[in-house]
A and B are shown apart, each in its own frame.
Chain A
Amino acid sequence: MKLDPNAIREKLGIGEDKVYGVIGEFDDPHELVHAGRQIRQMGYTKLDAMTPFPVHGIEDALGIRRSILGWIVICVGLCGTATAFLLIWYCGAINDKFVIGGKPLFDFTFSIPIAFELTVLFSAFASFLGMWALNGLPRLYHPSMNYRDAHRASDDKFLLVIEADDPQFEARRAAEHLRSVGAGAVEVVEG
Chain B
Amino acid sequence: MSHEDNYQMEPARWSAGRNALAFAALVAVIACVAGCLQDPARFFHSYIVAFGFVAATGLGAFFFVMVQFLSGSAASVTVRRIMENIMYTLPFGALLFIPVALGLKDIYSWTTYDAAHDAAMRWKAPYLSEKFFLIRAAAYFLVWSVWIFSIYRQSTKQDTEKSVRQMYAASRWSAPGLFLVVVLGTLASYDWFMSIEPKWYSTIFGLYILSGGALTFMSMVTLIALGFRRAGVLRNSITLEHYHDLGKWMFALTAFYTYIAFAQYLLIWYANIPEETAWYRHRIAGGWFWIAISMPFIRFIIPFFTLLCRPAKRNLGILGFVAVWSVVVEYIDLYWVAMPAYYPAGPELSWQDFATLAATVSLAGLVFWSRFKKHKMVPVGDLRFEQGLYFENA
Contacts and interface: CB of A to CB of B under 8 A. Distances in A.
A70 B266 contact: no
Interface stretch (A87-95, A109-117, A154-162, A173-181): A109-117
Contacts of A101: 270, 272
B392 A57 contact: yes
Contacts of B266: 109-110, 112-113
Given A112-B266, A113-B266, A56 B308 contact: no
B310 to A, nearest CB: 7
Contact of B309 (A70, A103, A110, A113): A70
B144 to A, nearest CB: 34
B228 interface: no
Interface in B239-278: 262, 265-266, 269-270, 272
A57 B270 CA distance: 51
Contacts of A109: 265-266, 269-270
A66 B393 CA distance: 13
B292 to A, nearest CB: 13
A74 B310 CA distance: 13
Contacts of A56: 392, 394
Nearest to A74: B308
A54 interface: yes
A72 B272 CA distance: 39
Contacts of B265: 109
Interface in A54-81: 54, 56-57, 66, 70, 74
Contacts of A103: 270
Nearest to A54: B394
A101 B270 CA distance: 9
A112 B392 contact: no
A101 B272 CA distance: 10
Contacts of B270: 101, 103, 109-110
Nearest to A112: B262
Interface string A111-138: 0110000000000000000000000000
Q: Which of A56, A66, A110 has the most CB of B within 10 A?
A: A56
Interface residues of A, number: 13
B272 A102 contact: yes
A117 B40 CA distance: 49
Contact of B310 (A54, A57, A66): A66
A27 B121 CA distance: 74
Interface string B361-394: 0000000000000000000000000000000101
Contacts of A110: 266, 269-270
A110 B270 CA distance: 8
Given A109-B266, A109-B269, A70 B392 contact: no
A158 B272 CA distance: 63
Given A57-B392, A110-B266, A70 B310 contact: yes
B388 to A, nearest CB: 14
A101 B309 CA distance: 40
Nearest to B270: A110
Nearest to B305: A74
Interface in B262-320: 262, 265-266, 269-270, 272, 308-310
B260 to A, nearest CB: 13
A64 to B, nearest CB: 13
Contacts of B392: 56-57
A66 B308 CA distance: 15
Closest 6 CB pairs of A and B: A56-B392, A109-B269, A54-B394, A109-B266, A112-B262, A110-B270
Interface of A: 54, 56-57, 66, 70, 74, 101-103, 109-110, 112-113
14 contacts: A54-B394, A57-B392, A66-B310, A70-B310, A74-B308, A101-B272, A102-B272, A103-B270, A109-B265, A109-B270, A110-B266, A110-B270, A112-B266, A113-B266
Interface of B: 262, 265-266, 269-270, 272, 308-310, 392, 394
Given A70-B310, A74-B308, 14 more contacts: A54-B394, A56-B392, A56-B394, A57-B392, A66-B310, A101-B272, A102-B272, A103-B270, A109-B265, A109-B266, A109-B269, A109-B270, A110-B266, A113-B266
